[in-house]
Every structure is written in structure tokens, then in C-alpha cells.
Amino acid sequence: MIVRDLITDGIIPLKTSDTGRAALSWMEDFRLLHLPIVNDSQFLGLISEYDIYSFNHFDEAIGSYNLSLQSPYVYEHQHIYEALKLVKLHRLSLIPVIDEKEIYLGSITLQSLLEHFADTLSVDEPGGIIVLGINIRDYVLSEIARIVETNDAKILSLIVKSDKDTTRIEVTLKLNKRDIAGILQTFIRFNYDVLASFGESDDFDDLKERYESLMTYLKV
């Protein structure tokens, strides 16, 4: 998905002639900590609640304020990940969207980003969740998918979290089945490190203990 698909046009931008007091009132109405500054459709910057309180002259026009942020924005054709990256980097409640001529097109709020990724990750869909710990060199998505599908299930979404200090990654699977006991057994049988599971299955610790007991018995 690209940025223009998530633009919220209900956020009214500020003008340089608006006062700090007016900006704070609009931030309260929109439940935001930031608002874009736009004159004649031209994007000029992003002002924060912190900027207004730091300047401490609420009845002065915001055009006289020193802004703490370096005018973060995204272009309408960029991927939504770029918007998410800037929101995280600058701790923004919204990110302005502009075109190639720096014409302001609207904003993407943190709330709309959260809703988009919640939908993308199928959080509302019923099903179990499995978290695997894997060495990055051993990460083979096709094998993980095969294990899931041989148990008559499908992967609805997948998240990979890397650890900068190790070569390990954490893979979180959202599946379309609530009963994931058989899938857990298969992952354990293929020597996957199952860090956690959530679903209608046997208690995972008991399941793992019984499997290890069986392996010990077979070796004897």
C-alpha cells in the first residue's frame, strides 16, 4: 500500500497567522500532539505541542515560532512503511503527505496507521498464534509454510523481528486455526524453538515435556 491510500483529509492544517492558543485548541479537538503548517497549499512544517509550550507566548502567531522538528513528511507515492518509519523516529501523532511540488495533500495519523497494520496482520481474524526462535541462517519460509499447511492450516500473517545483538530472529505466525496442537508438535519434531503459543491447544509445556520424554524413550 502506498501513502496516498491512507491520507486523512479531516485534519485542518494551521496557517502561519494562527496563534499558539488556537493551535493547542485544535490539537485537543483532534487528539493530536502535532499539526501541519500550510500557507496557500504549500507545506511549511510541523508544529508540536512541545513547541508551543516551550515558546510560551500563546497569543503570538505560530509563524514566529522556532520548530523543534525538521519538517518531517512523506511523498504520496511512497510506501506506507516510510510513513511508519518517520512516525517512529520522530514520535509523531501524524505525518504530513505532500506531492513533488511540496503541495500539502493531507496527513496520516498514528491511529490510521495502527488500524491499517491491525487489518494487515489479521488481528481480528480467529486463529492461533505461534512464536518461533530461529537462527537467521536456518530461516526458510517455505519450510515453515509447509509445516503449517501439512496440518491443514494457513498462515494469515507473519512478522519477523530481528535482534541486532545476535543472529537470531523471532518469527510470529498468525494462523487460521484455533486448535494448533498438531502444528506445535510438528514444529517441535523438526527441532524448531517454539518460544510461545496462543490458541486452543494442550498446554505447551506439557506437550513439549511429553515429546522430549518420547524421544528419550526411543533413544533408550
Task: Summarize the confidence of residues 31-37 as an average pLDDT.
Answer: 96
Q: How does residue 111 score in pLDDT terms, banded at 50, 70 and 90?
A: very high
| Listed residues 61, 84, 118: the one ending a domain | 118
| Listed residues 69, 85, 118: the one ending a domain | 118
Q: How does residue 206 score in pLDDT terms, banded at 50, 70 and 90?
A: low
Query: Does residue 201 register a pLDDT over 90?
Result: no
In this structure, the answer to whether residues 28 and 47 fall within a common structural domain is yes
| Listed residues 66, 85, 118: the one ending a domain | 118
141-165 pLDDT, tens digit each: 999 999 999 999 999 999 999 988 8
Residue 50: which domain range?
A: 3-118
Query: Does residue 127 register a pLDDT over 90?
Result: yes
Number of separate domains in the chain: 2
Partners of 135 in beta bridges: 168
- In a domain, residue 170? The reply is yes
Would you say 73 and 3 are in contact if contact means Cβ atoms under 8 Å apart?
no
In this structure, the answer to whether residues 197 and 143 fall within a common structural domain is yes
What does 40-64 look like in DSSP terms, one character per residue?
Answer: TTEEEEEEEHHHHHHH--TTSBGGG
Q: How far apart are CA 208 and CA 191, in angstroms?
A: 11
Q: At what angle do helices 181-189 and 204-219 cross, to 10 degrees?
A: 40
Q: The whole model's pTM is what?
A: 0.76
Q: How far apart are CA 11 and CA 158, in angstroms?
A: 33
In this structure, the answer to whether residues 146 and 90 fall within a common structural domain is no
Task: Summarize the confidence of residues 90-117 as an average pLDDT.
Answer: 95
- In a domain, residue 123? The reply is no
Residue with cell 523516529: 89
- In a domain, residue 19? The reply is yes
In this structure, the answer to whether residues 63 and 103 fall within a common structural domain is yes
Please, what is the Cα angle at 33 between 31 and 35, to 5 degrees?
95
Query: Does residue 126 register a pLDDT over 80?
Result: yes
pLDDT of residue 25: 97
In this structure, the answer to whether residues 189 and 137 fall within a common structural domain is yes
In this structure, the answer to whether residues 11 and 86 fall within a common structural domain is yes
Q: How does residue 9 score in pLDDT terms, banded at 50, 70 and 90?
A: confident
Query: Does residue 200 register a pLDDT over 80?
Result: no
CATH number assigned to the domain comprising residue 9 = 3.10.580.10
In this structure, the answer to whether residues 114 and 137 fall within a common structural domain is no
